[in-house]
Amino acid sequence: MNHLIDIMDLKKSEIEELINVANDIIANPQKYSEVCRGKKLATLFFEPSTRTRLSFEAAMYELGGNVIGFSEAQSSSASKGESVADTAKVISCYADIIAMRHPKEGAPLVAAMNASIPVINAGDGGHNHPTQTLTDLLTISREKGGIDNITIGFCGDLKFGRTVHSLINALMMYSGVKIVLISPSELKLPVYSKDVLDKNGIEYVETTDLEAVLPDLDILYMTRVQKERFFSEEEYLRLKDSYVLTPEKLECAKSDLSILHPLPRVNEISVKIDSDPRACYFKQVLNGKYVRMALIMKLLGVEA
């Protein structure tokens, strides 16, 4: 059975193939409009989402398929005490593929071990978010013409930000990537992620000073401070506005910088930047739908 639980489940050649298919979908959407006719995607979201759930649903509809599911744990039998394993077995009777988001790290893996259909991790706690990573890689590749030899700065909540953890793991597969980690000392990248960087001989620096490193960056990956993963409200309030990107700060950045953000944005990018040609975060949203179309096709084994 094919699942996508961790971005490391994919080989580099498979990631490249998904990027190629997504680019072809963008160029020739009509070619793909019926490929999933008669298939059902189940979106099982135990945690809030706007983009990920709706982009999965839009993706399946644009492939000609159908969607069932729930968008909060309260409206599912989880609220009666049903286990993730049982839910996965039940949904396997109704659908052809599952996209699951869950606040507990590892829950989509448990689902995959119990389902008889492919399971996609749509975000598990502070752990992984592989389909956001595919979205990010497609965006970087479209903006920069490739993923090798980039200098990328990750800014904000690098401790709890699952999109950062997954994207860093994927970047290990590319060459000449330099990583700049910009965060308050309380929200640094976890040691287990830094170990991965060290083991792969990836060059990285850690800093608290965004403005000092901004001129060096080809990509700036902004993130929000992950309120829901904090143990103390006071600590969140103290750290939430650690970085706010403004047009003034951007003056020293490269003219071809690409600014990415998985969204939702809270305060960390001024809305004044939205009209700057370097802002890519809304294009990134659209790319997310196309790459999820490519992924659904791959896991269902359908071709155009």
Residues forming the site for ligand NCD (CB under 6 A): 51-52, 123, 129, 132, 162-163, 223-224, 262-264
Q: Which residue has the CB atom at the shortest distance from ligand NCD?
A: 262
* Nearest approach, Cβ of residue 159 and ligand NCD (Å): 12
Residue 101 falls in the annotated catalytic set: yes
User: Which of 129, 142, 159, 162 is an active site residue?
Assistant: 129
Instruction: Find where tokens 């072809």 sit.
Output: 24
Which residue bears the tokens 């040609």? 277
Q: Between 231 and 301, whose beta carbon lies closer to ligand NCD?
A: 231
41 near 95, Cβ under 8 Å?
A: yes
Q: Tell me the H-state helices in the chain.
A: 12-27, 51-62, 84-91, 107-114, 130-144, 162-171, 191-199, 210-213, 233-239, 247-250, 281-300
Q: In the structure encoding, which two tokens stand for residue 113, read together?
A: 């071990």
Q: Active-site residue among 43, 52, 135, 139?
A: 52
The reply to whether 80 belongs to the active site is yes
Instruction: Name 182's bridge partners.
Output: 155, 207
**Minimum CB–partner distance for residue 155 and ligand NCD (Å):** 13
Check if 129 is active-site: yes
Q: How far is the CB of 89 from ligand NCD (least distance, A)?
A: 26
Q: Whole-angstrom Cα distance, residue 110 to residue 88? A: 9
> Residue 35 or residue 137: which is nearer to ligand NCD going by CB?
137
CA-to-CA distance for 51 and 267, rounded, in angstroms? 18
Choose between 92 and 132: whose C-beta lies nearer to ligand NCD: 132
Contact 103, 49 (CB under 8 A): no
Residue 52 bears catalytic tag: yes
Q: Which is nearer to ligand NCD, 264 or 277 (CB)?
A: 264
> Which 8-state DSSP code applies to residue 235?
H
Q: How far is the CB of 161 from ligand NCD (least distance, A)?
A: 6
Q: Which two tokens stand for residue 171?
A: 């970047």
Amino acid at 60: M
Active site residues: 51-52, 80, 101, 129
